[in-house]
Amino acid sequence: MKHFMTGLVAAAAITAGGAQAEQSIVIGHALSPQSHYGLGADAFIEKLSELSGGEFTGEQAPAGQLGGERDMIEGLQIGSLDVVITSTGPLGNFVPEVYVLDLPFLFRDYDHARNVLDGDIGKELLAKIDQNNLVGLAWSENGFRHVTNSQRPVRTPEDLDGLKLRTMENKVHMEAFSDLGAAPTPMAFPELFTALQQGVVDGQENPITVISASKFWEVQKYVSLTGHVYSPVAILASPILLDSLSDEQRGWFDEAAKASAAATRAEVNRLEDEGVALLRENGMEVITDIDKAPFAELAEPAYAIYTDEYGTEMVDRIKAVE
């Protein structure tokens, strides 16, 4: 089955005439083919195919078909998957230095986050990923995360009190929501919709991109534009595949990842402009009048999860980027 054909096996396939066989890669991600991740996966495949003159083609394994993001990252390490488009949610479990990107209220806005990730800091963190049996191709984007729930409008940290809130499997996020008074419940994304539907959790937090792609309005009434954390995306590849490539082929993957990030960010921009109206049209109550300062103050202790280990230098460098 194509899905489980590793890069190495495919690279070894040579046609009878000696020409390089077409190699089909699989890109795993958690969302629908129409989502910002799906558009990013399409752009990746298109650019890779164009640059390689058709030597590489590809297909998406969307919607968590191959498991949650943590499972897919493990798939890269054992070579059962070629490329993954993933939030940093579970990535800190593999590359702890990346936790710095998950700190609440660190990034001021989209320009700030993109300038950090496209600059020296982004490159340094990709290099850290490369030291952990993964290949970091590029940074892409999920967006600023907001709280949704089925119980009440959230305007202040007190409104979060006791709310059972699904978080990603990320200890910085869990600590932040615990500091804010919620009851954080880590869970892989493929389980989330049913958990919301059955009331196992009251709410969750994700960017507008994900709330709309996942139709969370079917199971959530309130969305509060807390923008409490920026959610970067890493485009990762299997070292087993990448080590089998020539320098020229590796260059095609780097370019494909850049094209993917650009397509995804364009869709994030579109949904930042049009998404709130879409959520309202679908019956959600959107709470916009939120004073973020008390949220930021209460979530501050979560920084220690990163700074106790690595100090404050990287945090300061990120804040200093214009």
- Residues forming contacts to ligand PAF in the complex (CB under 6 A) are 30, 69, 86-87, 89, 142, 168, 189, 206, 210, 231
- Which residue number, 58 or 207, has a Cβ lying nearer to ligand PAF? 207
DSSP character for 20?
B
Closest contact distance (angstroms) between CB of 22 and ligand PAF is: 30
Closest contact distance (angstroms) between CB of 209 and ligand PAF is: 8
- Which residue number, 97 or 102, has a Cβ lying nearer to ligand PAF? 102
Closest contact distance (angstroms) between CB of 146 and ligand PAF is: 11
And the tokens for 66?
Answer: 């191959």
Closest contact distance (angstroms) between CB of 132 and ligand PAF is: 19
And the tokens for 2?
Answer: 């194509």
Closest contact distance (angstroms) between CB of 142 and ligand PAF is: 5
Closest contact distance (angstroms) between CB of 64 and ligand PAF is: 8
And the tokens for 136?
Answer: 């970091």
- Which residue number, 86 or 212, has a Cβ lying nearer to ligand PAF? 86
And the tokens for 70?
Answer: 């943590």
- Which residue number, 10 or 30, has a Cβ lying nearer to ligand PAF? 30
> Can you spell out the DSSP letters for 191-221?
GHHHHHHTTSSSEEEE-HHHHHHTTGGGT--
> Can you spell out the DSSP letters for 58-91?
EEEE-TTTT--HHHHHHHHHHTS-SEEEEESTTG
How far is residue 167's CA from residue 100's CA, in Å, rounded to a whole number?
17
- Which residue number, 149 or 249, has a Cβ lying nearer to ligand PAF? 149
- Which residue number, 189 or 303, has a Cβ lying nearer to ligand PAF? 189
Closest contact distance (angstroms) between CB of 88 and ligand PAF is: 9
DSSP character for 158?
G
Angle value at C-alpha 92, between 30 and 37, nearest 5 degrees: 25
Scan for tokens 């220690």, then name that residue.
304
Give the orientation angle of helix 303-310 with respect to helix 171-179, to 10 degrees: 130
Scan for tokens 């798939």, then name that residue.
75
DSSP character for 322?
-
- Which residue number, 139 or 252, has a Cβ lying nearer to ligand PAF? 139
Residue 212: partners with Cβ closer than 8 Å, 6 or more residues away: 271, 275, 278, 279
